[in-house]
Amino acid sequence: MKSTWTACLIAAVFVSALAAQGKRDLTPEQLSQLTLGTPEQQRKAFPPHRIIGNIYSVGSDIQGSFLIATSDGLILMNTNFEAVPALRGSVEKLGLRFDDIKIILGSHAHGDHMEGDALVKDLTGARVMAMEQDVPALQRMRPGGKTHPVDRVLHDGDEVTLGGTTLVAHLTAGHTAGNTTWTLKAEDEGRSYDVVILGGMGVTANAPLVTAGVPTELAKDYIASFKFLRSLHCDVPLGSHTSMYNMAAKYARLGKGPNPYIDPEGYLEELDAREKVFNIRMTEQGSKK
C-alpha cells in the first residue's frame, strides 16, 4: 500500500512539474502524461467554481466537466466516469440542484468523458445528445450493463438551446469519429466572450496516419479539424481535460485581478502543442506530405 501511495505521489509531482513548462516545448509523452494525470487525479473532485458568465467547472483534477446554468435548467457537459456522487456534490456546492440538469452533452465517446451519461439521465431525466459519428462507440459503452441513451443525434453545426443559451456542435474528427468541439457565448460584466470547449485532440503513437507515405483518412480528419479550430475566435478556451486550458493555475488566480480564464493565447498554445504531436507522429510513420 505504501509503495502504491508513493508511486502516485511521484506521478502527481511529475505532472505538476510538466504543468509549469510551456506546452509547446513538451514531448508527445510529456504532453500525454500532463493530459491524463494519475488515476487519483482523474477521479478526485476539483473545487467547483464559476469560470465566466453562466459557465461553471464541476469536474475533477484532470477531467473537464462543465455546467451551463440557464433560466430553464442546467446543461451538463461531460459526465466523465460513472462517479456521480462526486459530480452531484460539485453541483450542489455551487448552490445548484442536480435535478435541474435538463441536457447532457459530451466531448467524445471515451469512457472517461461520457461513461456516466446513463446514470445521470436515470437520476435527472435529462436528455442525452451526441454527435452522429460517435453513436456506435457510445452504444458499446455499457457500464454495469446499462444501455447508453442517445435522445438526440447531432450533426456538424447543430445548435442546442436552453433558457436563452445556445451551444453549437462542431465535428472535429480525429481523436474519435464524432469528436465534438462546442462553442457558445458567455455574458460577463457587460461584455460578450467567445467560449470554445475543445474535444479530444490527442494523437496516439499507434494511430494509423500514413500508408505508403500518404496520409490516411484519419490523418485528413485531424488536418481538417486543426484547420477549423484555428479559424475560430476564442476568448475563453476550455477542454475535455483540464490541462488543455490550465485550469489549476487559473483557479489559483481567480479574484486576484482580471479573469484568468480569458486567455486567447492559451487556446493557440494548446492547438500548437497538439498539432506538433500530430506532425511528429506523421513523420514517424513516414509521411511524404
Each domain of the chain, given as residue ranges in start order, spans: 26-284
What percentage of the chain has pLDDT greater than the value 70? 92
Residue 36's Cα: distance from chain center in Å? Answer: 12
Q: What is the CATH number of domain 26-284?
A: 3.60.15.10
- Report pLDDT for 288: 64
For residue 129, the surrounding DSSP H or E stretch is strand 127-131
Q: What is the mean pLDDT of residues 66-73?
A: 98
Residue 28 and residue 281 in contact, taking contact as beta carbons nearer than 8 Å: yes
In this structure, are residues 201 and 225 in contact, taking their beta carbons and an 8 Å threshold?
yes
For residues 185 and 195, the answer to whether their CB atoms sit within 8 Å is yes
Rounded CA gap, 74 and 90, in Å? Answer: 14
Residue 10 pLDDT greater than 50, yes or no: no
Task: Decide if 105 contacts 121 (C-beta within 8 A).
Answer: no
Give the sign of the dihedral formed by CA 59, CA 151, CA 125, CA 69: positive
- Angular region, 213: left φ>0, alpha ψ -120 to 50, beta rest: left
C-alpha cell at 106: 459530451
Q: Which residue, among 260, 285, 204, 171, has the nearest Cα to 35 in the 3D structure?
A: 204
Across the range 224-237, mean pLDDT stands at 98
Locate the DSSP E strands across 163-246.
165-171, 180-188, 191-198, 210-211, 214-215, 236-239
User: Is residue 8 predicted with pLDDT exceeding 90?
Assistant: no
User: For residue 250, which phi and psi values (nearest 5 degrees)?
Assistant: -70, -40
- Per-residue confidence band for 15, with pLDDT thresholds at 50, 70 and 90: very low
Q: What's the grid cell of residue 178? A: 464524432
Asked if 66 and 58 touch (Cβ cutoff 8 Å), the reply is yes
User: Regarding predicted confidence, which is higher, 18 or 285?
Assistant: 285
* CA gap 197, 254 in Å, rounded: 19
Q: Which residues pair with 127 in a beta bridge?
A: 103
Alpha carbon distance 114, 105 (integer Å): 8
**pLDDT (tens digit, 9 = 90+) per residue, 163-211?**
999 999 999 999 999 999 999 999 999 999 999 999 999 998 899 999 9
User: Is residue 175 helix, strand or coil?
Assistant: coil
